[in-house]
């Protein structure tokens, strides 16, 4: 009998971590890695920083070279998109029409950049999610004196605005919230970031986009009633201004839409066994269905320590969850093989492994309970956060040095400290702050610890 592979759908950080962990934990059967981009696995955080700035080239973003991937013995399917999944038989359908029966599946498809209608019609309007997106925007910013409007003042928008300003461009940062990154870092830390952006020459505007003004290839002015997205077709209209709902007109020859992302789960919605509300819903072990696991930005799983479903779009989580999903899938497959041992092969189903699939040595199935971590680099400021900062109902910020933007903030929910953020602190203090929220603790206890760490 031909052995069925484990398939990992998504060839970025989470998918790469998963295939490497599967081999490391002993899976000897076929292993397929599917990625919809044509590129080898690469790192995404530098897209909005070092790559956009031009201090790194795309080769430096590669997480593994072809030579480094070769020992894994992968069936590597780059430039290939999964279009459907039948969880009952663990069968993937690919955009080529091929149906791939699998021993197990790990879904690591990440997220897609949100855009606005008309994305393919207006030149100079970009999103920033993929390597190709970043290279296109970098090429646009290679010329001098661009008038860039960044729509969206979250993490991505702020990072890109900082890079563009350092490159010498005229930059306007537009957000629905009056304070940049407020939902992630809190109002006071956001206000410090706003001060830094203004000091560097960025114009901050509060508002919502109503549409774009454009100029046709022949130079005739036109009003584009629908908002626009990326790139634009050659010879089509080019952006000349961003129009806000209050009538404000922001001149622009380049626009970056940094208005968030959507989990890449559209291809999974045909299977009733899967919950695709805000990502792929998983249990504490990262399992979405028997033999089906998820990792990275796309996964919304039950975090044991926080007691609520969590989806976390940050780099370190992708790697850690890819490894956890691999371990737990192998544990499940080993149990299936033991349960099927001694049965009549004629009664075996496609949803169980076979002897030919060479199951890995048994792994312990463990809940995935990381301490979430993210960072953001803007100008000379490095923000680092542990735990949960979004959705806090209590935030206490201590500004240690306003001129140096050195600060620490504690985040709580329901009387419990769940997250901590710092800027400008040395590694020793950062490690101590991480320990404060490794598990949720009472608010007052966490406050006292933070105070001791930052004043000691």
Q: CATH number for the domain including 178?
A: 3.50.50.60
pLDDT over 60 at 356, yes or no: no
Same domain, 233 and 316: no
217 and 137 belong to one structural domain: yes
Instruction: Verify that 390 and 451 share a domain, yes or no.
Output: yes
pLDDT, the chain, mean:
90
Together in a domain, 154 and 267: no
Q: Which residues of 199-236 are buried (b: 16+ CB within 10 A; e: fewer)?
A: eeebebbebebebbbbbeeeeeeeebeebbbbbbeeee
- Give the tens place of pLDDT for each residue, 94-124: 999 999 999 999 999 999 999 988 856 899 9
Q: Which residue segment(s) compose the domain that 399 sits in?
A: 380-455
CB of 294 closer than 8 Å to CB of 301: yes
Kindly state whether residue 94 falls inside one of the protein's structural domains: yes
Same structural domain, 323 and 449: no
Q: What is the mean pLDDT of residues 166-177?
A: 97
Asked if residue 19 has pLDDT above 50, the reply is yes
Q: What is the mean pLDDT of residues 428-438?
A: 89
Which pLDDT score is estimated for 387?
93
> Do 139 and 240 reside in the same domain of the chain?
yes
Residue 222 pLDDT: 42
Q: Nearest 5°: CA angle at 206, between 202 and 208? A: 120
Query: What proportion of the chain, given as a percentage, has pLDDT over 90?
Result: 79
Give the Å distances, CA to CA, from 181 to 90, 144, 150, 190, 333. 40, 28, 13, 6, 42
- Is this model's pTM higher than 0.85 or not? yes
Tens-place pLDDT, residues 50-63: 999 999 999 999 99
Do 249 and 267 lie in a common domain?
Answer: no
pLDDT value at position 37? 98
370 falls within a domain: no
β-strands 125-126, 147-151 pairing: unpaired
**Residue 258: pLDDT over 70:** yes
pLDDT at 332 over 90: yes
In the predicted structure, residue 361 carries a pLDDT above the cut 80: no
User: In this structure, are 403 and 340 located in the same domain?
Assistant: no
Is residue 150 in some structural domain?
Answer: yes
Domain C-terminal end among 257, 291, 307: 257
Same-domain pairing of 252 and 119: yes
Give domain status of residue 273, yes or no.
yes
Residue 412 pLDDT > 60 = yes
Q: d(Cα 445, Cα 455) in Å, to the nearest integer?
A: 16
Whether the predicted pLDDT of 223 surpasses 80? no
Q: Is the pLDDT of residue 38 over 90?
A: yes
Do 84 and 205 sit in the same domain of this protein? no
Paired residues of 137 in beta bridges: none
Listed in sequence order, the residues at least 6 apart from 388 whose beta carbon sits closer than 8 Å to its beta carbon are 306, 310, 372, 411, 413, 418, 419
The CATH number that applies at residue 423 is 3.30.390.30
Residue 290 has pLDDT above 50, yes or no: yes
Number of domains in the chain: 3
Q: Is residue 304 part of a domain?
A: yes
Any domain includes 364: no
Question: Which position has the higher pLDDT, 150 or 218?
Answer: 150
Residues 322 and 444 in one domain: no
Q: Are residue 36 and residue 120 in the same domain, yes or no?
A: no
């Amino acid at each position: 009998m031909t052995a069925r592979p484990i398939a990992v759908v998504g060839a970025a950080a989470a998918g790469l971590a998963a295939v490497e962990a599967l081999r490391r934990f002993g899976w000897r059967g076929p292993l397929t890695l599917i990625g919809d981009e044509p590129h080898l696995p690469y790192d995404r955080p530098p897209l909005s920083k070092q790559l956009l700035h031009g201090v790194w080239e795309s080769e430096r973003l590669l997480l593994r070279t072809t030579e480094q991937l070769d020992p894994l013995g992968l069936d590597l399917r780059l430039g290939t998109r999964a279009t459907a999944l039948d969880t009952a038989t663990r069968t993937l359908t690919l955009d080529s029409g091929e149906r791939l029966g699998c021993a197990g599946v790990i879904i690591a498809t990440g997220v897609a950049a949100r855009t606005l209608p008309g994305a393919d019609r207006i030149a100079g309007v970009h999103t920033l999610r993929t390597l190709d997106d970043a290279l296109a925007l970098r090429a646009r910013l290679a010329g001098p004196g661009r008038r860039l409007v960044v729509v969206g003042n979250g993490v991505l928008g702020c990072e890109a605005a900082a890079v563009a300003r350092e490159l010498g461009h005229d930059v306007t940062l537009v957000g629905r919230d009056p304070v940049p990154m407020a939902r992630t870092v809190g109002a006071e830390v956001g206000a410090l970031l706003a001060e830094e952006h203004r000091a560097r020459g960025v114009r901050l505007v509060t508002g919502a986009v109503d549409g774009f003004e454009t100029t046709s290839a022949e130079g005739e002015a036109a009003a584009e009633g629908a908002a626009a997205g990326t790139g634009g077709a050659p010879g089509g209209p080019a952006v000349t201004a961003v129009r806000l709902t209050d009538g404000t007109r922001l001149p622009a020859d380049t626009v970056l839409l940094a208005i968030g992302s959507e989990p890449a789960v559209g291809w999974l919605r045909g299977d009733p066994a899967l919950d695709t509300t805000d990502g792929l819903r998983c249990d504490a072990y990262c399992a979405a269905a028997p033999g089906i696991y998820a990792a990275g930005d796309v996964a919304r799983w039950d975090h044991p320590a926080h007691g609520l479903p969590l989806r976390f779009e940050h780099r370190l989580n992708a790697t850690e969850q890819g490894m956890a999903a691999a371990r737990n899938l192998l544990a499940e497959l080993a149990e299936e093989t033991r349960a099927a041992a001694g049965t009549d092969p004629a009664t075996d189903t496609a949803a169980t492994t076979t002897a030919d699939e060479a199951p890995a040595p048994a792994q312990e199935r463990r809940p995935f309970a990381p301490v979430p971590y993210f960072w953001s680099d803007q100008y000379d400021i490095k923000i680092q956060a542990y735990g949960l900062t979004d959705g806090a109902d209590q935030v206490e910020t201590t500004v240690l040095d306003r001129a140096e933007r050195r600060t620490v903030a504690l985040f709580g929910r329901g009387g419990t400290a769940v997250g901590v953020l710092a800027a400008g602190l040395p590694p020793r203090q950062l490690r101590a702050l991480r320990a404060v929220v490794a598990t949720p603790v009472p608010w007052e206890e966490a406050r006292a610890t933070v105070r001791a760490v930052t004043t000691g």
